[in-house]
Amino acid sequence: MPELRRIAVNGVELNVALAGSGPAVLLLHGFPHTWELWTDVMADLAVRHRVIAPDLRGFGASSRAASGYDAATLAEDAAALLLELGVASAAVVAIDAGTAPAFLLALRRPRLVRRLVVMESLLGRLPGAEDFLADGPPWWFGFHAAAPDLAETVLEGHEAAYVDWFLRTGTLGDGVLPAVRDAFVRAYTGRQALRCAFSYYRALPQSAAQIEQAVGTARLTVPTMALGAQPVGAALERQLRPFTDDLTGHVIEDCGHIIPLHRPRALLSLLRPFLADGGTGGTLGEGGVDADRG
């Protein structure tokens, strides 16, 4: 089991799971997840890496912050966490809501990010996702971002059913292990937990503007891997390609949106060689795809 610590960074306290030693790997989850999204890959990564998996601001056991759910602030949360832990350079692996802050972190602080892996998300309004968005964004984007308190009022008391929908039908998967499902349900139960989760969606226009501004002034120079499954597929890779110097893309077949839980071995078969090529990293002050879970 990983060590759990509460670490104060950037005006909030993050609940952080830590495991292993070696070059640092920062794992950033999405919605409706917590750090436990990485349950099936952490032990393997920890054999060769120092694995750092926080609950993002407002999620899980991290602070229920009143604001700061835009991608730029979340990127600063991640940077401050690495610095607080004495990490001078880390590979960053992100999915869903964690992707935009991971992208901005790598774009703005390439010395801090050794390698970048992003999966199953879109980067704001950047070109490349037109096919995916042909019928409009998924319905819950509008529902979550609607008038303040609407989604919270509708869903309070029904959180378990709502989370279950996302873990099955909503993200084209086959569910997750019961213990992980229960952890997610606990993390998203209660009005304040819902408010924080939906704050990510309410901040999407601000995050999109931050991304557009960032790619207008810089290129992504760190080695990057974009992973897709269902439903995003190759859309994220297409968005990244015009702005990225070193980009590898893969679509994992027969896999739902929650790649680390639906196809952990497939994910690890791609992560291991990519992260191994990333050098030794260090701390401040120091110089083909497998079958599914089994």
Q: pLDDT exceeding 70 applies to what percent of the chain?
A: 92
Categorize the per-residue pLDDT at 176 as very low, low, confident or very high, splitting at 50, 70 and 90.
confident
pLDDT higher than 90, residue 282? no
Categorize the per-residue pLDDT at 278 as very low, low, confident or very high, splitting at 50, 70 and 90.
low
Categorize the per-residue pLDDT at 143 as very low, low, confident or very high, splitting at 50, 70 and 90.
very high
- Under a CB-based contact definition with an 8 Å cutoff, are residues 23 and 278 in contact? yes
Residue 292 lies in a domain: no
3-40 tens-digit pLDDT = 999 999 999 999 999 999 999 999 999 999 999 999 99
Show the domain range for 249: 3-283
CA–CA separation, 258 vs 95, rounded Å? 8
- Token readout for 174 is 């086959």
pLDDT for res 1: 85
Q: pLDDT exceeding 90 applies to what percent of the chain?
A: 85
pLDDT higher than 90, residue 240? yes
CA–CA separation, 167 vs 164, rounded Å? 5
pLDDT for res 234: 96
pLDDT for res 109: 96
Residue 216 lies in a domain: yes
Burial class (CB in 10 A: 0-12, 13-18, 19+), 258: buried
Residue 288 lies in a domain: no
CA atoms within 13 A on the CB side of 229: 24
Residue 165 lies in a domain: yes
Amino acid making up residue 230? Q
pLDDT for res 147: 83
Categorize the per-residue pLDDT at 170 as very low, low, confident or very high, splitting at 50, 70 and 90.
low
Considering its fold, how many domains does the chain have in total? Answer: 1
Give this prediction's pTM: 0.93
How many C-beta atoms lie closer than 10 Å to residue 85's C-beta?
19
CATH code of the domain in which 50 resides? 3.40.50.1820
Residue 290 lies in a domain: no
Nearest to 195 by CA among 132, 153, 232: 153
- Token readout for 260 is 């680390």
Residue 130 lies in a domain: yes
Residue 294 lies in a domain: no
Residue 105 lies in a domain: yes
